[in-house]
């Protein structure tokens, strides 16, 4: 005689809390990467008072010359062998972001800043820029990446920046090329996006002051 057994839904024996625990455990075991990038707000800190702007500067959009890097990529934090957090700028355009940061720096140095088209990066090319400008600026982004690695409660951060600044004085047909190559490190307890953001912004502030000693 053929015997039949009632169908049993095994999930009825698993509580909602247990199910959530199983899902979390599965994610941890599989080492799934965190979905989507986390965005960093890069900026030059505002001064307490706005300086008088008595000089005129032309600023040309920076050129991103990085190889095998997305336009908005800033870095990553390695969580495990198969998992990492990705960091980027909100507009997905690092060249535009660093141009904006540099514009804020120049304005706080007393310049009225105008965006100007690209010009030939030569002494003669400087003279082709608008004649009313006292300075012209642009830069190449050769490398820009922060690599962070989680180590228990600590996160070790390494920021690699390779920029080439071009500073021109139109009335003198003078061009100064200023390469900046830095590797900066920092270790943070209880890593947060804001701590990485602060690390990069402080580094950018230092770089601009050293690369463009405007008097």
Tens of pLDDT, residue by residue over 91-130, are: 999 999 999 999 999 999 999 999 999 999 999 999 999 9
Instruction: List Cα–Cα distances, 74 to 37, 116, 214, in angstroms.
Output: 10, 26, 28
Q: Which residue has the tokens 């400008």?
A: 133
Model pTM? 0.80
- 175-210 tens-digit pLDDT: 999 999 999 999 998 889 999 999 999 999 999 998
CA 146, CA 119: separation in Å to the nearest integer? 30
As beta bridge partners, residue 184 has 159
> For position 47, what pLDDT does the model report?
75
Distance CA 97, CA 134 (A): 24
Confidence of residue 30 (pLDDT cuts 50, 70, 90): very low
Q: Could you give the angle at the alpha carbon of 190 between the alpha carbons of 186 and 194, nearest 5°?
A: 70
3-state secondary structure of 193: helix
CATH topology of domain 33-211: Rossmann fold (3.40.50)
For residues 40 and 111, is the Cβ–Cβ distance under 8 A? no
* Three-state secondary structure call for residue 52: coil
Give the residue carrying structure tokens 């922060």: 146
Which residue is associated with the tokens 């088209």?
A: 117
- The pLDDT, as a whole number, for residue 51 is 74
CA distance 53 to 79: 46
The answer to whether 186 and 155 are in contact (CB under 8 A) is no
């Amino acid at each position: 005689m053929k015997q039949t057994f009632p169908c049993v839904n095994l999930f009825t024996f698993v509580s909602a809390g247990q199910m959530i625990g199983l899902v979390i455990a599965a994610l941890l075991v599989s080492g799934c990467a965190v979905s989507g990038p986390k965005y960093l707000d890069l900026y030059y800190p505002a001064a307490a008072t706005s300086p008088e702007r008595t000089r005129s500067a032309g600023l040309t959009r920076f050129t991103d010359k990085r190889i095998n890097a997305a336009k908005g990529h800033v870095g990553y934090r390695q969580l495990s062998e198969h998992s990492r957090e990705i960091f980027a700028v909100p507009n997905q355009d690092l060249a535009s972001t660093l141009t904006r940061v540099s514009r804020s720096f120049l304005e706080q140095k007393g310049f009225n800043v105008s965006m100007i088209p690209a010009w030939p990066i030569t002494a003669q090319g400087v003279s082709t820029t608008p004649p009313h400008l006292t300075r012209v600026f642009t830069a190449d982004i050769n490398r820009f990446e922060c690599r962070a690695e989680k180590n228990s409660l600590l996160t070790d951060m390494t920021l690699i920046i390779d920029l080439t600044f071009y500073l021109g004085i139109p009335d003198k047909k003078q061009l100064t090329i200023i390469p900046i190559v830095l590797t900066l490190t920092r270790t943070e307890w209880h890593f947060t996006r804001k701590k990485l953001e602060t690390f990069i912004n402080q580094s950018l502030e230092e770089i601009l002051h050293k690369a463009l000693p405007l008097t």
